[in-house]
Structure formats: C-alpha cells, structure tokens
Amino acid sequence: MVCLGNICRSPLAEALLRHKVNPKKVEVDSAGLDSYHIGEAPCKTSQEVAGEHGLDISGLRARAFKTSDFDRFDKIYIMDDYNWQLIQSRARNKADLQKVDFILNEIFPGENMAVPDSYGKGKNAAKLVYDMLDKATTAIAQKLQS
C-alpha cells in the first residue's frame, strides 16, 4: 500500500487488509514515496477513524518506499496519479510496473480512480478515505481467498 507520505491513506489500507487476510499467508505493508514523515505515526484523524472501526494503527510508523519493495511484494497498490508518476520513475523494468495498480481498480476496474489525500482535511475526509479503502481491501481479500 503506497501513498505520498505513509501517514494517512496507506496505513489505513495496510491495517484494513491485514485485518481481512491470514497474516501467515499474506504479507501486508505500507510505504510512502516521499521521505518527510519517516518514523512518524499515522495522522490523528486516520487513527481516530480507524479506532472507530476497531483498528489500532497508532503503532504503525511511516517508511519510505524502496526499490527492493518491487522484489519483496507481488502487488503494489497506489492511491493516486501522483503516486503513479513517482513510482514509474523508480521502476527498474516493465516487470516492476506490472506489479503496480491503483487500489480502487479493485472495485472500479480500469478507471484509475484516486483515493483523495485526507492529510489536514479533517475527519470527514478521513472517513471517506476509510470507506473507499474498506471496499477495495475487501475486494482484494476476496480475490486472495479464491
């Protein structure tokens, strides 16, 4: 799960998918494409919204996306067009890029819809992001189980 800073959208997606899959069979992680939040906990609004749904994301810490993540993971989900532009510049080859997809393509195939960045936009924005990611991660979990 990849977004820009790894403190709003991607930690929510990480926690949601982890909650829905068998952790012994599926490794789930998140990262940011920019490094200015490394080591920080998810933003307060994301923590609050996750908590309202029984998920504690306070222990997660932002990390930067590494080129080696292309080798470590079978699928890399991004949140928006800007993430796509940045990750393209880090891909070493076509195989790397084939692992990358917009997370909302899981529920809106081929539409490349963005999950809006909720950073600094309040709790309602974080709730909207949570709802979008909840639906997308449910689709991913169902796909993994079949």
Structure confidence by residue, pLDDT tens digits, 85-111: 999 999 999 999 999 999 999 999 999
Mean confidence (pLDDT) of the chain:
96
Helices (H), 28-122: 44-52, 69-72, 81-90, 94-98
Tell me how many degrees the CA angle 18-37-124 measures, rounded to the nearest 5. Answer: 65
pLDDT at 119: 85
pTM for this prediction = 0.95
Catalytic annotation on 117?
Answer: yes
Angstrom CA distances, 133 to 26, 36, 113, 114, 119, stand at 18, 23, 12, 11, 15
Distance of alpha carbon 14 from the chain centroid:
6
Query: Which of 29, 69, 80, 117 does the annotation list as catalytic?
Result: 117
Domains and CATH numbers, the chain: 2-141 (3.40.50.2300)
Query: Which of 8, 9, 18, 134 does the annotation list as catalytic?
Result: 9
- Under the banding of pLDDT at 50, 70 and 90, the label for residue 146 is confident
